[in-house]
Structure 1
Amino acid sequence: MKIGVFTDTYYPDISGVTVSIENFVSMFRKKGNKVYIFAPKVKGYKDKDTDVYRVTSLKLISSEPEVRLPLLLPYKTLQKMFSLDLDLIHAHGNGPFSLLGYQMARIKNIPYILTFHTIHTKYTHYFFDGKIISPKMVAGGLRVFANLCDGVVVPSEKMKEELTSYGFRGQVKVIPSFINLKKFESLEKGYLHKKLNIPEGSPILISVGRLGKEKNFNFLIKAFKKVTKINSNAYLVIVGQGPEKNNLKKLTKSLGIEKRVHLTGKLAIKTMPLAYVDADIFVFASDTETQGICVLEAAASGLPLVVVEDPAFKNAVIDGVNGFATLLDEKIFAQKIALLLRDISLRNKLGENSKKIANENFKPEKLALEMLSFYKEIIKKHKTKKRILRRIINKASFINFLKIAERVNKLLGSTRW
């Protein structure tokens, strides 16, 4: 197959969407498919992948990541895009670049699939401070967009239920994103301890994500404050960047734990496996995820997981088996962390189970083949629709021809055609 992937965010921006696209595309190509990626042009960044087409764009909204409007300039870029022979377009991101993919699919008369990665109704505070665009407006827009698609994909049952709550009644295919599990194998510890000057032997709790209100890092920091009262040697490392960074720093200072909490900013994607493997426990308090790629990465790294109870983590976190899924309660959350810090044997056991669960529930080849199978299904349905539409048009044309012929014959004086 020849597949066009349109995305509103891609490298050098690192996100769950970026990781998902890279891994699916890599597997598709291994199976002999040709894949082209269309993404916003980023000043100073050059792709090693020659099949990535960068489109000039204008920043619409300053968020993390930014929302950019494709300008389709210069003309040569547009010409190249539309000259490609594609069987299907798969878009990610639900923004302007996804809409560009939809327009291209309709012009080329090929199927259009859209993956809904994000619960955008939880992110309206990024758009004019939430004063203009309401969650209800966003839900309505996404429902309309979903109805335009030939196929809709989501990474979890949670996101499927979310779309249903918007009023979408079409078919939704649940296919989780996956990671390259091999990147998290056989790595040496020591990266974070050395980088952040953390004393050897001091346990590290790690969390990863965009520093935004929706990720609930303030909850995490407050829970960690309670942990320090039980274990004064532990450190909390939060990897990521975002608008809440200064507020989180102020919070750590007000709680008197600024020396125990490290906000590293963004780390290079190649160093992330080293960061995970040097930690002892993964902690995560976001309840706005649709899957949580970082949770899967932590599991693949062999870490026990402490997260808030959320259906998004259903197949990655099994309570009591490879970690704990708790209520959104700082005291309970802190108690589970303290238990793992205290019981090294339990910590190791749950960490081993994490690896097994990641390898069993998120097999790259299985999930990639499932997506390719869905592509073929949608292409087949689209061809059937085209045949039916052609028959309707042909039949209508024939009927019109007969009517016109009858009128002509009447004008010529014929009593019957």
Structure 2
Amino acid sequence: MRSLHFTDTYLPRRDGVVTSVRTLTSALRLQGQHAVTVAPGHRADAGDGHLLRLPAVPVPWGLAGLRLSAWLLNGRWAAGAMARIAQARPDLIHVHTPGPTGLLGVFAGRELGVPVVHTYHTDLHAYADAYRVPAAALAAGLRLYAYRLGVPPIPTGSGRRDAVDAVNEFMLRDAGAVIVPTPAVPARLALPVPAERLAVIPTGVTPVPLDATAGARFRRAHGIDVDAPLVLYVGRVNREKGMDRLIEAFAEVAATRPQARLVLVGAVYEQRWLTRLLRDAGVRDRVVLAGQQPPAVVCAAYQAADVFAFPSTTDTQALVLLEAAQCRLPVVMADPLLHAHGLLGDATLLTGPAPGSFAAGIGALLDDPAAARALADRAVGRAANHTADGYARSVHAIYQQLTTVPIPR
């Protein structure tokens, strides 16, 4: 089966969507399928026979380092993109993001007459609120989407939430199936998708070989004492991920633990905002900004840490939780909904979103290594149930259903 995977975010940027797309396409190929990723072009491209890059431009205001496919802006570019996609002869299209590249997937599915699957990776309402995206800008984007597809625009209300609902309606209404990574998605928001077309399929993770010396090397590389209590966060260091909550909580933790350190592994896109947070909390010299790192270094960071702090209340799965569990690192969570509907459940410590409660949870695991180990041991077993191979097989079953007996609409 030939599947094309459309995503507006891809390497060299690293995030949960990129990881999920790469995990799925790699596992599908290992199972004998033909999977190609369609993504915005980047000057750092290094030649990949399984990657179709499109002409792209940076987001003008630098939103989290995104680049956008330019096909929407020019009819000739649109025709060129469609010609390349048609040449790939897809049996099925899988859309992973709601930006211009994702919309191109919707357009291509309609033009080529092949089924379209979506994965709803991102809580768009939460992100639009975090970045204060104007409702008028979203409505203007929808009008452009409608124009390029040659369909009537979807009426929107006056607010940001109404505009995001319209985006979801536009992207998902004709999909043969919509995959969500956990039940937290339908619990958090209403998607315009009938129940029979909604499938819960968590993204699996590939086991990583653990190196007993990697953690110590990571500490040395970042000047962290071997006995220092170490709190770790992995992911985009951005406002939608709850960085204000984490830094305020860590300031409380550090107030009674002079050696404690916080390591943030991930890209920083709003440096001045982050610097102000650290300065106001009085912890700038206690926080290590490790930046975006390759998987081996991220794994070493997990092994170096004592507690994984996950402050986000906007995630739909959070692959980093499975990665931390693989490395036997205990997790503290702020999001009750993801805790209730996520993959690790009570194998993590839930505190709720208040910074004081989050700090108390971090401190409790730092102060009780036996309880921390027991929590981590439970999480290892939960994580083992979610493999890359199993993920790909479950998604491929959806593909087979759509290409043989289409789901009724």
- Following superposition, the deviation at residue 162 of structure 1 comes to 4.2
1:336 aligns with 2:336: no
Secondary structure (helix, strand or coil) at the match of 1:123 reads helix
- Please list, as runs of the form range in 1=range in 2, the aligned pairs for 1:119-268 lying within 5 A after superposition: 119-125=123-129, 129-130=133-134, 132=136, 133=138, 134-163=160-189, 165-169=190-194, 171-183=197-209, 188-268=214-294
Task: Give me the whole-angstrom Cα distance separating, in 1, the residues matched to 2:237 and 2:367.
Answer: 29
Who is 1:19 aligned against?
19
Q: Deviations over 1:380-400 (max 9, x none)?
A: 234999xxxxxxxxxxxxxxx
CA pair 224-108 structure 1, distance change in 2 beyond 3 A = same
1:83 aligns with 2:87: yes
Who is 1:52 aligned against?
51
Who is 1:415 aligned against?
none
Secondary structure (helix, strand or coil) at the match of 1:9 reads coil
Task: Give me the whole-angstrom Cα distance separating, in 2, the residues matched to 1:108 and 1:303.
Answer: 47
Secondary structure (helix, strand or coil) at the match of 1:98 reads helix
Residues 184 and 300, structure 1, Cα contact 8 Å, conserved in 2:
no
- Following superposition, the deviation at residue 46 of structure 1 comes to 1.2
AA paired with 2:357? I
AA paired with 1:82? A
AA paired with 2:337? P
Which protein shows a greater Rg? 1
Q: Deviations over 1:152-200 (max 9, x none)?
A: 111111213345x254435211111121123557663224312221112
Scaled by the length of structure 2, the TM-score of the pair is 0.86
CA pair 43-128 structure 1, distance change in 2 beyond 3 A = farther
- Following superposition, the deviation at residue 149 of structure 1 comes to 1.1
Who is 1:369 aligned against?
393
CA pair 273-193 structure 1, distance change in 2 beyond 3 A = same
Residues 308 and 326, structure 1, Cα contact 8 Å, conserved in 2:
yes
Bigger relative contact order, structure 1 or 2, given CA contacts below 8 A and separation 6+?
2
Residues 94 and 116, structure 2, Cα contact 8 Å, conserved in 1:
yes
Residues 296 and 358, structure 1, Cα contact 8 Å, conserved in 2:
yes
RMSD, aligned α-carbons = 2.4
CA pair 2-353 structure 1, distance change in 2 beyond 3 A = same
CA pair 384-162 structure 1, distance change in 2 beyond 3 A = closer
- Following superposition, the deviation at residue 265 of structure 1 comes to 2.1
Task: Give me the whole-angstrom Cα distance separating, in 1, the residues matched to 2:23 and 2:209.
Answer: 12
Scaled by the length of structure 1, the TM-score of the pair is 0.84
CA pair 29-315 structure 1, distance change in 2 beyond 3 A = same
- Following superposition, the deviation at residue 331 of structure 1 comes to 2.2
Who is 1:407 aligned against?
none
- Following superposition, the deviation at residue 341 of structure 1 comes to 1.3
Residues 238 and 263, structure 1, Cα contact 8 Å, conserved in 2:
yes
Say which of 377, 381, 387 aligns to 2:405. Answer: 381
AA paired with 1:25? T
1:110 aligns with 2:134: no
Query: Could you tell me the percent identity over the aligned residues?
Result: 25
- Following superposition, the deviation at residue 274 of structure 1 comes to 1.3
* Structure 1, 267-276 or 288-297: larger mean CA deviation: 267-276
Task: Give me the whole-angstrom Cα distance separating, in 1, the residues matched to 2:211 and 2:198.
Answer: 34
- Please list, as runs of the form range in 1=range in 2, the aligned pairs for 1:265-414 lying within 5 A after superposition: 265-313=291-339, 314-319=341-346, 322-360=347-385, 362-382=386-406
AA paired with 1:18? V
Task: Give me the whole-angstrom Cα distance separating, in 2, the residues matched to 1:115 and 1:326.
Answer: 29
Secondary structure (helix, strand or coil) at the match of 1:271 reads helix
- Following superposition, the deviation at residue 59 of structure 1 comes to 3.4
* Structure 1, 54-63 or 281-290: larger mean CA deviation: 54-63
Q: Deviations over 1:370-417 (max 9, x none)?
A: 1111111111234999xxxxxxxxxxxxxxxxxxxxxxxxxxxxxxxx
Task: Give me the whole-angstrom Cα distance separating, in 2, the residues matched to 1:127 and 1:181.
Answer: 34
Residues 178 and 193, structure 2, Cα contact 8 Å, conserved in 1:
no
- Following superposition, the deviation at residue 130 of structure 1 comes to 3.3
The number of equivalent residue pairs is 380
Task: Give me the whole-angstrom Cα distance separating, in 2, the residues matched to 1:148 and 1:169.
Answer: 11
Task: Give me the whole-angstrom Cα distance separating, in 2, the residues matched to 1:87 and 1:119.
Answer: 28
Residues 91 and 114, structure 1, Cα contact 8 Å, conserved in 2:
yes
Q: Deviations over 1:34-69 (max 9, x none)?
A: 11111111013214x312111112334531142513
Task: Give me the whole-angstrom Cα distance separating, in 2, the residues matched to 1:32 and 1:130.
Answer: 44
Residues 211 and 245, structure 1, Cα contact 8 Å, conserved in 2:
no
Residues 130 and 239, structure 2, Cα contact 8 Å, conserved in 1:
no
CA pair 309-191 structure 1, distance change in 2 beyond 3 A = same
- Following superposition, the deviation at residue 209 of structure 1 comes to 1.9
CA pair 363-77 structure 1, distance change in 2 beyond 3 A = same
Who is 2:96 aligned against?
92
Task: Give me the whole-angstrom Cα distance separating, in 2, the residues matched to 1:11 and 1:176.
Answer: 21
Secondary structure (helix, strand or coil) at the match of 1:64 reads helix
AA paired with 1:115? T
Task: Give me the whole-angstrom Cα distance separating, in 2, the residues matched to 1:286 and 1:338.
Answer: 18
Task: Give me the whole-angstrom Cα distance separating, in 2, the residues matched to 1:161 and 1:51.
Answer: 35
Residues 344 and 383, structure 2, Cα contact 8 Å, conserved in 1:
no
Secondary structure (helix, strand or coil) at the match of 1:90 reads strand
Residues 121 and 136, structure 1, Cα contact 8 Å, conserved in 2:
no
Secondary structure (helix, strand or coil) at the match of 1:200 reads coil
Secondary structure (helix, strand or coil) at the match of 1:316 reads coil
5+ unaligned residues in a row in structure 2: which ranges? 139-159
CA pair 148-18 structure 1, distance change in 2 beyond 3 A = same
Residues 59 and 66, structure 1, Cα contact 8 Å, conserved in 2:
yes
